[in-house]
A = this chain, B = another copy of it.
Amino acid sequence: MCEANAYYIEDGDEELIMEAVDTVTPEPEGILLTSIFGDQKLVKASIHSLSLVDHKVYLQKNG
């Protein structure tokens, strides 16, 4: 399976937010992370960058 781990990225530091993320969808307040297990987390952030072969999704917190 090709899920990925989602991290906040800030000043080069990575903070793990959710493992095994399948979908990331936009919401009025930010983005909704949904894992392959069905877990969901709404975060006030946007997608910063991706490193898919390394299974990493980087998020940046909203201003």
CB-CB nearest in chain B for A31: B49
Q: Is the CB of A22 within 8 A of B51?
A: yes
Q: Contacting A36 at CB < 8 Å: which of B24, B25, B53? A: B53
A contact face: mostly helix, strand, loop, or mixed = strand
Q: Is the CB of A50 within 8 A of B23?
A: yes
Q: Is the CB of A3 within 8 A of B48?
A: no
Q: Which residues of B contact A22 (CB under 8 A)?
A: 51-53
Name A12-57 residues within 8 Å CB distance of B. 21-26, 36, 46-53, 55, 57
A50 to B55, CA, bound (A): 13
Chain A interface (Cβ < 8 Å from any Cβ of B) = 1-4, 21-26, 36, 46-53, 55, 57
